[in-house]
Structure formats: C-alpha cells, structure tokens
Amino acid sequence: KSVMDKILWRRSLQLHDQQHSWQESPDGRKMLEFRRNLPAYKEKNRLLAAISQNQVVIISGETGCGKTTQVPQFILESEITSVRGAVCSIICTQPRRISAMSVSERVASERGEKLGESVGYKVRLEGMKGRDTRLLFCTTGILLRRLLVDRNLKGVTHVIVDEVHERGMNEGKVLTNLRIVISDRNAHLMPDFLLIVLKDLLSRRPELRLVLMSATLDAELFSSYFGGATVINIPGFTYPVRTHFLEDILDMTGYRLTPYNQIDDYGQEKMWKMSKQAPRKRKSQIASAVEDTLKAANFNEYSSQTRESLSCWNPDCIGFNLIEYVLCYICEKERPGAVLVFMTGWDDINSLNDKLQANRILGDPTRVLLLTCHGSMASSEQRLIFDEPESGVRKIVLATNIAETSITINDVVFVIDCGKAKETSYDALNNTSCLLPSWISKVSAQQRRGRAGRVQPGECYRLYPRCVYDAFAEYQLPEILRTPLQSLCLQIKSLRLGTITEFLSRALQSPELLAVRVQNAIEYLKIIGALDHNEELTVLGQYLAMLPMEPKLGKMLILGAIFNCLEPVLTIVAGLSVRDPFLAPMDKKDLAEAAKSQFSHDYSDHLALVRAFEGWKDAERGLAGYEYCWKNFLSAPSMKVIDSLRKEFLSLLKDTGLVDCDTSICNAWGRDERLIRAVICYGLYPGISSIVNSVNARESEIPYPWLVFNEKMKVNSVFLKDSTAVSDSVLLLFGGSISQGEIDGHLKMMGGYLEFFMNPSVADMYQCIRRELDELIQN
C-alpha cells in the first residue's frame, strides 16, 4: 500500500470511531433511536445492496419517510465502515436552495457534527464545506455548473438527485420565476436538463453511482429513461386524513360569504353575487351554485380550456377572510395539533400574517405560535417551524408549497389548502409565459392532505369545491413543457452542449411535444437577434445567456445599460416580473382606473409604472408608502418586491460587466421618455400591434401608431397587457426587422406615411442604422 492509501485508511478509521462514540453518547443514542424509527431505516440494507450492485437506482417513498436525510447518510456510513470513508465523495442535489441548506444542517446534527465537517452544502454565493467534507448537499444549478468545468465529475463517487419528481422550481412559486432563478442562477435548468447530462456521463464513468429519489409515483418513468433501472419503494405509513371541501367548510363553520371579501376579478364577482342572493345556503345548494358558476364558464370536462375556465373560480375571493375564519374555528373547536396553511407565495404569506397578527385569537402569543415558511427565508427563522410549541399553544405555519415535499413538519394535524400554487404557465400559442397562481394537480392536493397524517389522524380543509378538485389535472406538467424554452436554448448554446434540437430530443418526457416548441423558441431567438442563422449565439445572445431572465427582459436591461437609462428600465423590468401592481377591485373599478390614468396619460403602461414607483419611493422615504399605495390603488407588497428586484437585477448587470460598479446608472438623458420607449420597443419586439387591433385604447387620442406589448392575454377577447405606444421611427430603429407584409398592412391604415415608406432609401437607411446599433451592442 502506498503512503497515501495508508493515510486515507487511517482517516477512515478515525471517522468510524468518531461516529461510534457519538452514537454511544446520550444525545447520539436519542438521535439514533429517532432515525431507526424512520421507514427508510428499515430498508437500509436493501437500499445499500441495490446501490452497490447497480449503477442507477431509483428510490421512491412517502414524504417524511427519510429519503433525504437518511439515504445519503447510509451511503456515507457504509463507505466509512468499508474503510473507503476518506475517499468517497457524495453529491446530493436539492431542487431548492433552502432545502440544500436545511437538510445539510439536519444531517450534520444527526451525526453529532457541525456543518462543514463530513457534511456540507453549497448553493450560489454561499456554502459551508471543509477539507473533510464527504457528503455535499447542493442545488441542481451548482452540480450543473460543476459538470461544465469538470465533465467527468472527477473524484465524485455518488450522485444523488433528490426530488426528481419536482420538475423545476415551483418553489413558493415565489413571486416570480426570476426570484428563484436569481437566487440560484441555473436553477431554471430543471432536473430534466440535469438528467440528460448525467445520463451521458454514466457511460464515461462506469463506477459512478447515480441515485434518484422521488416522492411520487413517477418512478417507472425515470426507470425506463435509464434503461429499466432498479426501483426501490420504501413503504410508508400515514394516518387517515379527513377531507373537507369548501361546501363542507361553509356548512360546518357557518361562515357567510359577504360582499366585501376582496372582490377583484371576474370569478370573484360571481362568488359575490352568489353569496348575496343566498347568504346562508345549505351545503348542497352551495355545491350546485358552484357548479352553475363553473358551467357558465364553459366548464365541462377537463382540458386545458377547462383549466383556463377554472381560473374564474378564484379562491382568493374568499381567501384571507375564510382562512382566518377556519383558523379561529380550529383554535376554538378542534383538538390540539399544529396547522399548516398552504399559500401561493411569500407576498401572500406576509399579508395574511399581518392580518392574523391583528386577530384577537390568532394574534395572541399565549394561544398561538404563528410562523411562516417560504424559500427566501433565513435558515435560523426556518428552524423555528420544527420546534414544538409550549403546551396549550397551537403552532400555525403559513407555507408555500415548499412544505408539500421539501420540508416535513412532524406535528401537523390540520392542513388548510388554498388549492393553488404559483407556477409558470405557458401559452404555446403566443409563446408567452407568466407566473400566476394556478390550480394544483390532484397529486399535489393529495400530497398536501397527507401532511396532516404524520402523527395521528388529521383533517384537511380544502378551500375549493369538490367539483373543482375533480377537474384538477392528475399530474403537474413537467416544467420543461410549461416554460418557454428560449432561456433554455440560450443555455444549451452557451454551455456548448451541441445543437439545441439534438440536445432536447433526448429529454426525459415527450420529446415529440417539445419539438414544435423548440422550433418556435429557436425562431424567436433568431428574430430577436440572439442566434444567427446557423443557430450560433450572437454577442447579444451571449449576454442574454448570462442574464437569468426572459430574453426580452434581458434585452431591455442591456440596452438600458448601453444608453445609461437604467433607473426607469430597472423599474420596468422588475415590474414585468411581478404581478400587476395596479389593483382593480371589482367594486371600485372606476376609481382604480381613474387612479391609474393619472400615471398613464400617454399610453404607456410601462411608463405609468415608472411614475407610480417613483412616487411610491418618495412617499416611502417619508414613511408614507402605504398611504400612497392605498390612495392610488397600488399593491404595496408588489412595490416592495419591485424595489428589491431592481437591486438584484443591477447586481446581475454588474456581474456581466455591462455596468460599471461605480459610475452612475442613469445620465441626464436617461429619463427621456422617448428613449425609454425605444428601449421598451427593443425588448418587446416582435410583440407589436397596430393601434387598430387594440380593444382597450381610445384609438384616436393615441399619439403613436404602434403598440408594443408584453403579453397577449386571452380573456374574453384578446387584449394586450402592459403595452406602450411607440412611433414609426422608434419601431424602425429598435423593432428588429419588419416584414414587407407588416409594412404593407400598416400602410393601408396610415395613408399619410405611404410615401415615406415606399421610398427605397428609407429602407436602406433603416438597415444602416440597425447595423450600427448591432455594432454598438457588440462593442
């Protein structure tokens, strides 16, 4: 044996002895006792045998059975026992930053160690890892990045991909995709992407072990993707949970739907009417009224159409008040036990938290321990949710769907499920996507319910009618089918993973469904100038690939940086990433519209936002931000989010080198409205419409002939969301190439411009200026 071998051997023995003495200590013994009672522990030997005999093993089991905390530890322990402890290197990926951090901490404490000894973590911009770290928890993005610089994962002996079923980052579905993407730059490269890369790696590294862990029944799908890999199921046990749908809840609690429960869109108005006519309907009557509402919305059988109609049944309309009511009901009438409330995002959680703090029962710390749990929370805060409250105090946790599978709170007996989660939804037709609360799948709903049955029989309150549940999709669509592929395509190119089409044809699911969308995405990227005709990245494309956001937003930021007008542009881009900060409550629609029109007198929703935000900023400095929002029908949480996103975007731009760290981001010209319109146009192209098509503009008054828009929304008729009117010259200069057909169409409407456009020299001039602009960007 070489000297090195001897050293490693001795180190392994040391590790072994350390563990042994920890397990003999009183705390260690208690911990071991806890671990031995987990279902995963009972399968330990079977799991280890499978992992040593097969290159790929898939492990499934109920949430909470011990996959995440135990399986990596089993591997580590068995390596240590077989005296390879000092040479093994186990990487375990987590779908989210917060779980990588909390799980590593938990595992370290189960081993009686501090973080950074044998167990560590690494997430973007943060980590805790020492010389002796053998088990590393990290995000998917971190592993992907490592794969780029180290194709063969030299030295790594085991890769564990945890929560593979979690296809993408539906984390809190926090306010936007962007938040998550920013918190871990490559997180939007979903597991599907990682799996393609890992599958490639397996043939080059035959001794490498790959373990996929999942909570749902997708195991077979993953198994067949890896050529029939071994599947091991950990049998779990949960207590029965009783389900109460909205109609039962209304019946049981005597809650009355009243007219002023945050009524702010179409469906909510319906709800309101229904309750006004019949404030105290019985259960069956309520159910049939609900069905009528849904039928009226063309709600027959499940289809994507139905899913759209479902959005007219919006639980938010009764949301906060009903949740408060049910919580009080539980506190007053129900047996002891913690309550877990599933909400859509952290902005909602914060508002609800404020509301509950003011409640006589729920805000009383001698009776209730009110906690929140979401992805952007510090880990010290997060630890509180695992603590047991003092006796007589009821723990209530307001959580995003992070508590669905990633985090297990053991003492939960009651679950309140709002039925929605923020997820990126994608409209293939218009190639647009947005992050909106949408209905969860049946699998998710069952998963949420299951959280109530961990320690004793539980209760699940679903704040939606049974017929809505019946129409839920069975499974959530994998992320790769939900998001626009544009960013992904840019990543594939910038990571030099070959041609886009070839790479994505190896996707885990539905490559044929992907094909059309991939083609659309490539086409789009060519139109906006991110890819050249050979599908190679242009310089613009290279910059866009560095910015983890939709290319159109990235384009605005880039041009904003070049023209030194980032102050307003940052606001616009941040504003496009959050839910519409202009509120439109149903009962005060006119007032709200009047309030908005003070800001948007010149036909730009984007400039309106800039003005509203700047007004808020001033008011906020004088501590009057909230009043300002109230008066102007603005959402205060959205304003705060915009404020913090602006900072994040700016630091990203600094990372890419597009913005100097010390020079000002906005010069005197930077607030010129025409310039900003040009930047908006540059970003949103080809989202252009001539004014004639717009249903919501007072056509004759608009100073400019074109509207650039962020999104086409289909509600009753198509209307344009977030649009800005721009002039011919802006469109010509900043609008990418315009087809002859479009010009022709425009000419028909705008007879006066005919000669101008027909003049061949205009076309030449246009080409020339565009070229200059492109050069400007390239340098």
Residue nearer to ligand ADP on the CB measure, 140 or 538: 140
Closer to ligand ADP by CB, 98 or 323: give it.
98
Q: How far is the CB of 545 from ligand ADP (least distance, A)?
A: 33
Q: Which tokens in the block code for residue 47? A: 């799991």
The CB-of-406 to ligand ADP minimum distance in angstroms stands at: 8
**CB 491 → ligand ADP: shortest distance, Å?**
28
Rounded CA separation 99/76 (Å): 19
Q: Which does 102 bind (CB under 5 to 8 A by kind): Mg ion, ligand ADP, none?
A: ligand ADP
Write down the least CB distance from residue 103 to ligand ADP, Å.
7
Q: Which of 223, 401, 408, 483 is the binder for ligand ADP (CB under 6 A)? A: 408
Q: Based on the shown chain and the rule CB under 6 A, indicate whether residue 67 belongs to the binding site for ligand ADP.
A: yes
Residue in the shown chain whose Cβ atom is closest to Mg ion = 68
Of residues 80 and 160, the one with the C-beta less far from Mg ion: 160
Report whether 215 contacts 165 (CB < 8 A): yes
What does the alpha-carbon distance between residue 532 and residue 524 come to, in Å, rounded to a whole number? 11
* Structure tokens belonging to residue 653: 């731009």
**C-alpha span between 498 and 504 (Å, rounded):** 10
Read off the amino acid at residue 33: E
Cα distance between residue 454 and residue 506, in whole Å: 39
| Interface with Mg ion (CB under 5 A) | 67-68
Q: Is the torsion defined by CA of 84, 89, 93, 96 positive or negative?
A: positive
Chain positions 104 to 143 lying near ligand ADP, rule: CB under 6 A, are 106
* Residue among 99 and 476 whose Cβ is closer to Mg ion: 99
User: Binders of ligand ADP: how many residues, by CB under 6 A?
Assistant: 15
Q: Does residue 63 interact with ligand ADP by CB under 6 A?
A: yes
357 binds, among ligand ADP, Mg ion, none (CB under 5 to 8 A by kind): none
CB of 38 to ligand ADP, least distance (A): 6
User: Minimum distance from CB of 68 to Mg ion (Å)?
Assistant: 3
Closest CA to 301 of 447, 470, 168, 160: 470
Binding residue (CB under 6 A) for ligand ADP from 93, 94, 102, 710: 102
Q: Which does 141 bind (CB under 5 to 8 A by kind): ligand ADP, Mg ion, none?
A: none
Q: Pick the piece of the chain touching ligand ADP (CB under 6 A) from 65-73, 322-330, 497-505, 558-566.
A: 65-73
Q: Please, are residues 392 and 331 in contact by the beta-carbon 8 Å criterion?
A: no
* Residue among 3, 18, 174, 186 nearest 111 (CA): 18
Q: Does 638 bind ligand ADP (CB under 6 A)?
A: no
Region near ligand ADP per CB under 6 A, out of 62-70, 118-126, 349-357, 476-484: 62-70
Told to check if 410 binds ligand ADP by CB under 6 A, we report yes
CA-based Rg of the chain, rounded to a whole angstrom? Answer: 28
Query: Of residues 61, 168, 465, 683, which one binds ligand ADP by CB under 6 A?
Result: 61
Range 162-188 burial, b when 16+ CB lie within 10 A, else e? bbbbbbbbbbbbbbbbbbbbbbbbbbb
Q: How many CB atoms are located within 10 Å of the residue 247 CB?
A: 22
Residue closer to ligand ADP by CB (options 71, 249) is 71
Give least dist CB 406 to Mg ion, A. Answer: 6
Q: Which of the listed partners (Mg ion, ligand ADP, none) does 66 bind, with a CB threshold of 5 to 8 Å by partner kind?
A: ligand ADP
Q: Which does 542 bind (CB under 5 to 8 A by kind): ligand ADP, Mg ion, none?
A: none
Instruction: Kindly state the smallest distance separating residue 478's Cβ from ligand ADP, in Å.
Output: 20
Instruction: Tell me how far apart the alpha carbons of residues 493 and 507 are, in angstroms, rounded to a whole number.
Output: 16
Calpha distance 124→324 (Å, rounded): 37
| Minimum distance of ligand ADP from residue 473's CB (angstroms) | 23
CB 84 within 8 Å of CB 15: no
424 binds ligand ADP (CB under 6 A): no
Tell me the C-alpha distance between 448 and 343, whole Å: 11
3-state secondary structure 462-501: ECCCHHHHHCCCCCCCCHHHHCCCHHHHHHHHHCCCCCHH
Residues 181 and 141: their CA atoms lie apart, in Å, by: 10
> Hey, what are 300's tokens?
């027959």
**What Cα–Cα distance (Å) separates residue 201 from each residue in 89, 148, 164, 191?**
16, 12, 17, 15
109 vs 727 by CB, closer to ligand ADP: 109
* Rounded Cα–Cα distance for residues 21 and 19 (Å): 6
Distance separating alpha carbons of residues 277 and 191, to the nearest angstrom: 49
Q: Which is nearer to ligand ADP, 67 or 493 (CB)?
A: 67
| DSSP classification of residue 390 | P
For the bound state, the minimum distance from the C-beta of residue 146 to ligand ADP, rounded and expressed in Å, comes to: 23
Among residues 66, 72, 345, 548, the one that binds ligand ADP under rule CB under 6 A: 66
Minimum gap (Å) between residue 64 Cβ and ligand ADP: 4
386 binds ligand ADP (CB under 6 A): yes
158 binds, among Mg ion, ligand ADP, none (CB under 5 to 8 A by kind): none
What is the closest distance, in whole angstroms, from the C-beta atom of residue 68 to ligand ADP in the complex?
3
Contact 638, 626 (CB under 8 A): no
| Options 59, 65, 396, 440; binder of ligand ADP; rule CB under 6 A | 65
Binding site for ligand ADP (CB under 6 A): 38, 61, 63-70, 102, 106, 386, 408, 410
